[in-house]
Structure 1
Amino acid sequence: MLPRVFGPGLVAMLLATAAMTVPQPVQAQVSPFTQSVAIAASDDEAIAAFYAARNYAPVWTDAGNAERRNVLLTALTRAGDHGLPVQRYDAGALADAFRAARTEGDRGRLEVRMTRAFLDYARDLNSGVLVPKKVDPGIVREIPVRSPESNLAMLTDADLSGFLAGLAPTAPAYAQLMKAKIQIEAQIARGGWGEALPAVTLKPGASGEAVVALRDRLVAMGYLGRSATRSYDDTMEKAVQQFQLDHGLEPDGVLDDSTLAQINVGPEARLQSILVAMERERWINIDRGRRHIWVNLTDFSARIMDDGKETFATRSVIGKDVLDQRTPEFSDTMDYMVINPSWSVPRSITTKEYLPLLKKNPNAAGHLKIVDSKGRVVDRGAINFGKYTAANFPFAMRQPPSDGNALGLVKFMFPNPYNIYLHDTPSKSLFEREIRAFSHGCIRLGQPFDFAYALLARQSDDPKATFHQVLDRGAEAAVRLEQPVPVHIVYFTAFPGAKGKMNYRRDVYGRDGLIFDALMQAGVVLGGHQG
């Protein structure tokens, strides 16, 4: 299949260019080619050292380098398939430079340009175009970045094509996102999904023009086979339910305001979500662990994955959409769980929320203990709360273990600088909501006991009994996991479901919008076409 970024004529030119032989350097103690390479590479330590170590022997511009040139130029023409900034590597300009090269100086400069394009492409494909922390401070993930030296060491490998292909994320989701990107681009080229639906609520049994519009939209989106029906029949109801499941909505089969809003999102916006998801996959291009915990914030879910398959899932509540309460994105390792936990109230909550209440009424928040710096409980009556501010309040607050504890009866620990963990909660009703962003940042689980049983099943023949033996004592106790489990807190608004069909979620924190804008500024083009 020809690359979509360039037309057939340019592809043919690139392949012809790759076979060209640029004039060889005149043999001399220091040839013009060597001088040109040394000067062109002088501002890049890795490239300069690479060429110096190989006595300035060419990698791209010699007669014997045709196959290597062909491999790289072909990969660069297809960079748009990955949602990468094609102009950053500019295969067309490189091809022009090969045709225009006349002197050994031209050849040396072109040699370094090719190497820079190779390094840029290798880095972007393997670990992403953007630095996530610079886009949103809530994305605190450590990005695995291959060193330029390790990439340069592969330049003389016999299988450069295999090396380049292997730089892309290996998670199956990446290939599925790439496929979805191609499909939705084709759909956009055919005219998209048609007109948006009118603002109307439709239930099974309805009929009329609004139902016809819904029918046509579902057909265009692939949720319904071609049909002439004008009534909201069982087939249409099932199609709506499947759409709702794929978009994180309550699958009641009713076209209400929430479902209407999602069904009217156009394919261009969905393509944006896919491009962002591909970039996010590059940020987490790591060994995720044969067993790992996957918390997708936009899906309000926490899952245990074993060898690529979901073995347990529960609803979750995440941080509020408030600047300092949004749940951050990062990966860590869960080491233990605490059963019957006490809650050490974070200082920000103590000073911002509880101290003003205590100033008005020293007996406010009576379910919490006031403790000093040594953890000793202090009599509230002995404290003049009015003389303290958020800056100088010398006490902390703690809630003892109980059914009403803010952490519930169990919390799951992966110690991290952000003080984020998974935990139970007494506020069970929130799990019935469609959008579940209510916490101060930690992740509340809808089925924490079952989550604990699933984790303990690896180290106990009767995990339920093991858990309840500790729970029934009523005292705070830590239970270590014999096999620590990686935890990945992620934020995907586009991801493939279990059968490969694309799922979409709302951009709850607006992070994807920021990432898409940054990708556009970096040169990524919607649809992957050259501007």
Structure 2
Amino acid sequence: MGISVFLSHRKALPLVLALTLSVALPAAPVSAQVSPFTQSLAIAAAEDEAIAAFYARRNYSPVWTTAGAAERRNVFLAALTRAGDHGLPVQRYDAAALSQAFLAAQTEGDRGRLEVRMTRAFLDYAQDLHSGVLNPKKVDPGLVRDVHRRADDEVLAALEAEDLAGFLAGLAPQSPSYAQLIKARIGLESVIASGTWGEPAGSSALKPGASGDGVVALRDRLVAMGYLARSATREYDASLQRAVQAFQLAHGLEPDGIADADTLAEINTPPEERLKSILVALERERWINMDRGRRHVWVNLPDFTARIMDDGKETFVTRAVIGKNVPDQRTPEFSDEMELMVINPSWSVPRSITTKEYLPLLKKNPNAAGHLQIVDRNGRVVSRGNVNFGKYTAANFPYAMRQPPSDGNALGLVKFLFPNQWNIYLHDTPSKSLFEHEVRAYSHGCIRLGQPFEFAYALLEKQSAAPVDEFQRILNTGSEQGVKLNDHVPVHIVYFTAYPGAKGQMNYRRDIYGRDAAIYQALRAAGVAQGDQQG
């Protein structure tokens, strides 16, 4: 007869004090005092501690299955129909099945179970949209980010507030990037449905002055992708060169205007692959759905850059070198706060580098790596001649190694500290030539800056009337000295292979560590699919 009959004839339901949520309801006299609705609701809710506590506090009164709850139901079900826009697993909530369940409910028991089913879907959707579908630490060892999830009871409390629509609207990240990623997702799905990027441009390298069918194919592809106005010419002219340069800039390639093998590989990347990057980027945005700080440092690993952001605007950017693409040297992803810069730093060689790289050399030649000091547990410099390196292993080597301040110090002349358990920080480097490379993954995990002095000036300008003079005065002493930042600066080490530029255009980068591929597979396993829509 449908649930509407129950909603229009429902009477107050007695609550039995002996009713518990952690065990099956007792039979006979107690169950006789409990309505079928309350009994089925309590049993279904007992599977989730937070939901059970929520209904117990409400004396098992419903929030979804009364005649007066129609607006609340409609608001929530309407939100679920848009779950696919966010790249969420729509079948986890399944708005269509929930709507059908309301039509199919025949008994008070059906209604009680449906009440909990709606609440379970609400909790899943709210947490997924706010904080992400996945636990990043379970996907890749380099994803050490702490995700800020709301407490379940806090989320459920929103069901008792008047403005449910406002609560739902505020769950997703409010950053401009998130909205632009959603727009890009919709656009790519339209491209995939219509095939409007057309045929690939071929694989033969082309450069200005070329002509023929290969140039036409390249031109047609760039026209379809929005980088070039439509034209019938077969020549690799100045307009095509500018279009190739614009494409290269948007994809992290050297903007020389030559369609070489790397550029053509990116041009020929199908929209389905770009959509994967967008879906992963949406999930990553949800992982950092928090106050990022009015001023913060943003290090995007696949972009090989470090930026200072002030009130949402980029105020400084420099090239960066990141960790090598080997298991124990990839730069991890996390957020922390920069507290200190050290000018003329010494370098305390990490234990792993000391034992894996230098100890074998010292066994062969005690004078190897002569630019480094051998220090004991008390920090005192030890003469190499007094150490029998041959008797030690990586496990029992009792010494550390340190490089004193100098122009050739591995950390260069300044480092920026945000203390963390992975010993990751930003620093200068004497190896300046590496910043000229397109792919800059060479470090042991720390982030080297192409313009470290300018980065320091930008940080100090908030607390010094003469930041350049202050920095240079300390630098000229040649002595190691720390400078505390009066206001700590949040640092976000992120990994976006898809992100919008300043004017909203999408930028794409290569998945250098393979993390996006792992995240995408985990999203697929969780039920996220390309083109997911909920009717």
TM-score bracket relative to the smaller structure: over 0.9
Aligned to 1:312: 316
Of the candidates 510, 513, 518, which is equivalent to residue 509 of structure 1? Answer: 513
Which structure 2 residues correspond to residues 160-179 of structure 1 after superposition, within 5 A? 160-179=164-183
Aligned to 1:261: 265
Q: Please tell me whether residue 88 in structure 1 is matched to residue 92 in structure 2.
A: yes
Per-residue CA deviations over 1:191-244 (Å, capped at 9, x if unaligned) read: 141222222111111111000000000011110111111111111111100000
Contact 1:291 1:304 in 2 (8 A): yes
Q: Please tell me whether residue 74 in structure 1 is matched to residue 62 in structure 2.
A: no
Of the candidates 198, 214, 218, which is equivalent to residue 210 of structure 1? Answer: 214
Of the candidates 130, 142, 145, which is equivalent to residue 141 of structure 1? Answer: 145
User: In 2 relative to 1, CA 334–510 (structure 1 residues): closer, same or farther, beyond 3 Å?
Assistant: same
Shift of 1:529: 3.8
Aligned to 1:396: 400
Which structure 2 residues correspond to residues 370-389 of structure 1 after superposition, within 5 A? 370-389=374-393
Alpha-carbon distance in 2 for matches of 1:182, 1:250: 29
Alpha-carbon distance in 2 for matches of 1:424, 1:269: 36
Per-residue CA deviations over 1:490-521 (Å, capped at 9, x if unaligned) read: 00000000000000000010000000000000
Aligned to 2:471: 467
Secondary structure in 2 matching 1:180: helix
Aligned to 2:442: 438
Matched positions, count:
515
One-letter amino acid of the structure 2 residue matched with residue 510 of structure 1: G
Q: Please tell me whether residue 353 in structure 1 is matched to residue 357 in structure 2.
A: yes
Of the candidates 267, 270, 291, which is equivalent to residue 287 of structure 1? Answer: 291
Aligned to 1:482: 486
User: In 2 relative to 1, CA 154–291 (structure 1 residues): closer, same or farther, beyond 3 Å?
Assistant: same
Aligned to 1:5: none
- Alpha carbon RMSD of aligned pairs, Å? 1.4
Secondary structure in 2 matching 1:218: helix
Secondary structure in 1 matching 2:159: coil
Shift of 1:162: 1.1
Per-residue CA deviations over 1:350-406 (Å, capped at 9, x if unaligned) read: 000001111111111000000111111111111111111100111100000000000
Alpha-carbon distance in 1 for matches of 2:356, 2:407: 25
Alpha-carbon distance in 2 for matches of 1:408, 1:122: 46
Per-residue CA deviations over 1:456-493 (Å, capped at 9, x if unaligned) read: 01111211101000000000000011111000000000
Shift of 1:58: 1.1
User: In 2 relative to 1, CA 192–269 (structure 1 residues): closer, same or farther, beyond 3 Å?
Assistant: farther
Contact 2:82 2:534 in 1 (8 A): no
Return 489-498 or 381-390, whichever deviates more: 381-390
Alpha-carbon distance in 2 for matches of 1:448, 1:434: 19
Per-residue CA deviations over 1:328-347 (Å, capped at 9, x if unaligned) read: 00000001100000000001
Secondary structure in 1 matching 2:170: helix
Secondary structure in 2 matching 1:43: coil
Aligned to 2:247: 243
One-letter amino acid of the structure 2 residue matched with residue 427 of structure 1: S
Return 377-386 or 402-411, whichever deviates more: 377-386
What residue ranges of structure 1 are gaps of 5+ in the alignment? Answer: 1-16
State the identity as a percent: 73
Alpha-carbon distance in 1 for matches of 2:155, 2:6: 25
Per-residue CA deviations over 1:88-144 (Å, capped at 9, x if unaligned) read: 001111112111101100000000000000000000000000000000011111100
Alpha-carbon distance in 1 for matches of 2:322, 2:371: 24
Shift of 1:20: 8.5
Contact 2:349 2:403 in 1 (8 A): yes
Alpha-carbon distance in 2 for matches of 1:20, 1:173: 46
Aligned to 2:422: 418
Shift of 1:54: 1.3
Contact 1:24 1:104 in 2 (8 A): no
Contact 1:305 1:311 in 2 (8 A): yes
What residue ranges of structure 2 are gaps of 5+ in the alignment? Answer: 15-33
Runs of 4+ residues over 6 Å off in structure 1: 17-21
One-letter amino acid of the structure 2 residue matched with residue 453 of structure 1: Y
Contact 2:3 2:105 in 1 (8 A): no
Aligned to 1:51: 55
Contact 1:20 1:63 in 2 (8 A): no
Return 427-436 or 31-40, whichever deviates more: 31-40
Secondary structure in 2 matching 1:36: helix
User: In 2 relative to 1, CA 427–28 (structure 1 residues): closer, same or farther, beyond 3 Å?
Assistant: closer
Of the candidates 343, 361, 364, which is equivalent to residue 368 of structure 2? Answer: 364
Of the candidates 20, 41, 48, which is equivalent to residue 45 of structure 2? Answer: 41
One-letter amino acid of the structure 1 residue matched with residue 58 of structure 2: R
Q: Please tell me whether residue 494 in structure 1 is matched to residue 498 in structure 2.
A: yes
Aligned to 1:448: 452
User: In 2 relative to 1, CA 20–438 (structure 1 residues): closer, same or farther, beyond 3 Å?
Assistant: farther
Shift of 1:21: 6.4
- TM-score relative to the length of structure 1: 0.95
Contact 1:344 1:397 in 2 (8 A): yes
Aligned to 2:31: none
Secondary structure in 2 matching 1:302: strand
One-letter amino acid of the structure 2 residue matched with residue 456 of structure 1: L
User: In 2 relative to 1, CA 295–216 (structure 1 residues): closer, same or farther, beyond 3 Å?
Assistant: same
Contact 1:185 1:271 in 2 (8 A): yes
Alpha-carbon distance in 2 for matches of 1:18, 1:377: 81
